Amino acid sequence: INNRSRSESLYQEALEHIVGGVNSPSRSFKAVGGGAPVFMKRGQGAYFWDVDDNRYIDYLAAYGPVILGHAHPHVTAAICRAAENGTLYGTPTELEIQFARMLKSAIPSLDKVRFVNSGTEAVMTTIRVARAYTGRNKIIKFAGCYHGHSDLVLVAAGSGPSTLGIPDSAGIPTSIAHEVITVPYNDLPALEQALDRWGSEIAAVMVEPIVGNFGMVMPKPGYLEGLCAAARRNGSLVIYDEVITAFRFHYGTTQTYAGLPAGTDLKAIEPDLTALGKIIGGGLPIGAYGGKAEIMSQVAPLGPAYQAGTMAGNPASISAGIACLEALSLPGTYEKLERLGAMLADGLARGAEAHGVPLTINRISGALSTHFCAHPVTDYEEAQDTDGEQFAYFFRLMLDQGVCLAPSKYEAWFLTTEHTEEDVSYTINAAASAFKRLSEKFH
Ligand code: PMP
């Protein structure tokens, strides 16, 4: 692919009207050397086409939701049906009950759910509910985990493992950042130290139980059990942010995932509250949160914690979500994602090795991350300590061969149910030629 002239001119036009030319900063190519991002105009299955009619194999999957590929017929039909009946009523609908039942049957810790419009909203509200329930203000989060763009979770670690946070974004008061303590993921002593230090002030421990935001990172054996036990001893709630992970690796969330480290006690890792998004909307905007009835009864109109939404539970998003989960529940879905994921990871590893390019691949089912480094990646520090320049070069070489990845060294590759072995083979070959170029340039 060597002609992206229309993307380039649309980008110039977009810059005049849309801040930074993009409606989410992760879409900009800033982290991979800048320039025009690719403007897409159509997607079908595992492919999408840009405005210059170039075809790409899509491993971005819209940052996760598009697990069934683009324009999946079952989801498309559900959206069309919903649209024909009107897209918003501002009243309850039967569809919402059906969808709540589906989520509850897949996620045992949900007694009650509430639908919202994005992962950000879902996470933001779980924090409010936890504060209302515990009467405490502070939360603990983990370095490198992303939980949307609300004030409280856009906070990074201070200088030590149990110091108060500093804002990660302009516009967040230091007083708010001081309600957040950031500790390293996969480091139980650091969490216990923070809980000891801030004890009765901690409303909740907020975590991506399996991390998707600095690569795909599994909890170490015993980590989630230890995290939950430590939080409970302290009277703090455990909030799982499963916006990326829910329905990604199997039909459910982390608390029922058989792929966790051997010996994981699933009962001991049940969260109090769960935030959901992405896949559960089948590609339309959605978020949801839920948990134990006693905790969820804090939420208005039952309780004093207010949360509302004009668009919440809209029939189009709910219908797309139901259709998406129906398709995912068909036999063989996750087996296919696992099989293609293994094939892709093996092929990438072989290619990198053949050309002497150090590469750490973290794979969980059909999601994997590629880290240009020679060490394992189990926490944010290790993910940061990887070669962004090599990633940027690799990203461009792949894009030029018609393989689209997320433009960030921290993001995962997502397979969809529509990728084929041919797509994966093509990708492996494209990567091998990219690794060859990388070895000439960097090694
Ligand atoms: N939580 C996690 C784990 C996420 O990965 C994201 C988005 N990447 C969010 C929350 C925020 O979701 P949204 O972009 O839908 O607001």
Let me know whether 348 and 385 are in one domain.
yes
Shared-domain flag, residues 128 and 54: no
* Calpha distance 133→304 (Å, rounded): 10
pTM for the whole thing? 0.97
State which of 300, 328, 356 marks the end of a domain.
Answer: 328
The answer on 85 and 60 residing in a single domain is no
Count of domains observed in the chain? 2
Residue 56 shares a structural domain with residue 106: no
**349 and 255 housed in the same domain:** no
Q: What distance in angstroms lies between residue 244's CA and the mean position of ligand 1's atoms?
A: 7
The domain boundary residue, chosen from 328, 352, 378: 328
Asked if 112 and 148 sit in the same domain, the reply is yes
Is residue 140 a contact partner of residue 195, using CB atoms and an 8 Å limit?
Answer: yes
In terms of domains, do 127 and 58 share one?
no
Selecting among 47, 63, 146, 257, the annotated active-site residue is 146
Dist. CA 439 → ligand 1 center (Å): 35
In the prediction, which pLDDT does 443 show?
87
Provide the token pair at 315.
Answer: 């029939």
Residue identifier of the C-alpha nearest atom 10 of ligand 1: 147
Q: Ligand 1 site: residues with CB under 6 angstroms? A: 63, 118-120, 123, 146-148, 208, 212-213, 241, 243-244, 277
Give residue 61 CA to ligand 1 midpoint distance, Å.
14
Atom of ligand 1 nearest to the CA of 213: 5
Tell me, yes or no, if 146 is annotated catalytic.
yes
CATH code: domain of residue 252: 3.40.640.10
- State the Cα–Cα distance between residues 254 and 292, nearest whole angstrom: 16
Buried b (16+ CB within 10 A) or exposed e, 231-269: beebebbbbbbbbbbbbbbbbbbbbbbeebeeebeeeeb
Contacts of 246 (CB under 8 A, 6+ apart): 107, 252, 253, 274, 276, 278, 279, 280
Rounded distance from Cα 277 to ligand 1 centre (Å)? 7
User: How far is the C-alpha of 111 from the C-alpha of 363, rounded, in Å?
Assistant: 31
H or E, element range at 19: none
Q: Which of 138, 141, 187, 278 is catalytic?
A: 278
Write out pLDDT tens, residues 170-229. Answer: 899 989 999 999 999 999 999 999 999 999 999 999 999 999 999 999 999 999 999 999
- Among all chains, which residue has been given the structure tokens 């049957």? 105
Say yes or no: 185 and 268 in one domain: yes
Closest Cα to atom 5, ligand 1: which residue?
Answer: 244
From the CA of 355, how far away is ligand 1's center (Å)? 35
Q: Buried b / exposed e across 153-162, counting CB within 10 Å, b at 16+?
A: bbbbbbeebb
In 3D space, the residue among 374, 345, 375, 347 whose CA is nearest the CA of residue 361 turns out to be 345
Active-site pick, 241, 272, 387, 423: 241
The pick from 153, 243, 279 for probing ligand 1's pocket by mutation, whose C-beta has the most ligand atoms within 8 angstroms, reads 243
Ligand 1 mutation pick, 60, 116, 239, 244, max ligand atoms within 8 A of CB: 244
The protein residue with its alpha carbon nearest to ligand 1, atom 7, reads 148
Same domain, 233 and 147: yes
Comparing CA positions, the residue from 9, 393, 408 lying closest to residue 212 is 408
**Whether the Cβ atoms of residue 225 and residue 186 lie closer than 8 Å to each other:** no
Question: Cα(213) to centroid of ligand 1, in Å?
Answer: 9
Q: Strand 237-241 and strand 202-207: pairing?
A: parallel
Residues of the chain with pLDDT under 50: 161-162
Please report the atom of ligand 1 found closest to the CA of residue 24: 14
Cα 411 to ligand 1 centre (Å):
12
Whose tokens are 């203000």? That residue is: 137
Q: Are residues 276 and 357 in the same domain?
A: no
Q: Where in the sequence is the domain holding 220, given as residue range(s)?
A: 73-328
| b/e sequence 28-46, b meaning 16+ C-beta within 10 Å | bbebbeeebbbbbeebebb
Q: Name the domain boundary from 328, 347, 370.
A: 328
Known catalytic residue at 196: no
Query: Using one digit for the tens of pLDDT, what is the confidence trace for 110-140?
Result: 999 999 999 999 999 999 999 999 999 999 9
* 273: β partners: 239, 291
pLDDT at 161: 43
Rg for the chain (alpha carbons), in Å? 21
* CA-CA-CA-CA torsion sign (12, 15, 17, 21): positive
Q: In terms of domains, do 124 and 248 share one?
A: yes
Please tell me whether residues 66 and 80 are part of one structural domain: no
Exposure letters 299-309 (e unless 16+ CB within 10 A, then b): beeeeebebee
| Active-site residue flag, 168 | no
Q: List the CATH number of the domain containing 421.
A: 3.90.1150.10
